[in-house]
Amino acid sequence: MSQKIFINLPVTDVKRSTAFYEAMGARKNERFSNETTSCMVLSEEIHVMLLEHTRWRDFTTKTIPDAKASAQVLLCLTLESGAACDAAVETAVAAGGAADPTPKQDYGFMYGRSYEDPDGHIWEVSWMDLAAMEKAMGEG
Count of domains observed in the chain: 2
**pTM across the whole model:** 0.90
Residues 79 and 24 in one domain: no
Indicate the pLDDT class of residue 43, thresholds 50, 70 and 90: very high
- Report how far residue 52's alpha carbon sits from residue 110's, in angstroms, rounded to the nearest whole number: 35
Residues 112 and 128 in one domain: yes
Q: What is the pLDDT of residue 40?
A: 99
Residue 21 sits in a domain of what CATH number? 3.10.180.10
Report which listed range, 67-76, 112-121, 123-132, is most confident. Answer: 112-121
> Does residue 31 surpass a pLDDT of 60?
yes
Mean pLDDT of the chain: 95
Residues 15 and 70 in one domain: no
| Domain ranges, residue 47 | 1-64
Task: Name beta bridge partners: 125.
Answer: 77, 113
Residues 90 and 122 in one domain: yes
Residues 70 and 133 in one domain: yes
> Does residue 133 surpass a pLDDT of 90?
no
Q: What is the pLDDT of residue 140?
A: 55
